[in-house]
Copies of this chain bind each other. A is one copy, B any other.
Amino acid sequence: MTYDPDNTALLVIDPYNDFLSEGGKIWDRLKAVAEANRCITNMLAVLEASRGAGLRVFYALHHRYRPGDFEAWKHMAPIQGAAWRAKTFEEGSWGGAIREGFEPGPGDVVAHEHWCSSGFANTDLDQQLKVHGIQRVIVIGVRANTCVEATVRFAAELGYDVTVVRDATASLSEEEMHATLEVNLPNYAAIVTTSEIVESLAGSLRRPNPARPRALSGS
């Protein structure tokens, strides 16, 4: 597979300290899976390879907890009730900050925070992808069976071509990983490994005219 930086983006989902850093609120429950598949190392490798190949990077970030968020809701999804109780990704806290190494850089696009699991639902992600000419997305991040799976499903429904990097994601159990990577997402995306995508992206760079600058005209 090759990826054209003119229409392909990397989509990084929820690289928060609460998920990915020692001391984060969910890290203890996530680290067994994350360490088994070298998730963080792989996420960094895909991020670096994507930047190297000239892909624009988009961030889909979960709602950061703020006092008063949910008090007046008439109902909510169970996962939202859990996030409310745990105050995960609290606004202004270290846990709600991006893990070192994953910080958005100049030219990256950070979509509106999402309230549930899909980076597309109730955000500007779809519009931002469109105005940047993106038709294909490569997805990495956490958690596999909640935000990653939801975002991939939405992307496919909305008409994007989707690739998921199977060892650049993690979740709370191998059972969750299996549900997403083996059972569900093969219906909606190509599933590749980090080494495969890094190789593809390196190849994408070796185009006949690799020096062609990316069109960045604003109007």
Chain A interface residues (CB < 8 Å from chain B): 56, 68, 70-79, 81, 84, 106-107, 112-113, 115-118, 121-124, 126-133, 135-136, 145-146, 149-150, 153-154, 156-162, 175-176, 178-180, 183-184, 186-190, 215-219
Contact = CB atoms under 8 A, between A and B. Distances in A.
A158 B132 CA distance: 12
A161 B75 contact: yes
Given A75-B161, A84-B218, A136-B75, A127 B131 contact: no
Stoichiometry (number of copies): 4
A57 to B, nearest CB: 12
A83 to B, nearest CB: 10
Contacts of A159: 126-131
B124 A216 contact: no
B117 A187 contact: yes
Contacts of A132: 72-74
A70 B107 CA distance: 10
Nearest to A175: B183
A200 to B, nearest CB: 16
Contact of A145 (B107, B113, B161, B184): B184
7 contacts: A71-B107, A72-B107, A73-B132, A77-B156, A84-B218, A117-B157, A153-B153
A150 B157 contact: yes
A101 B68 CA distance: 21
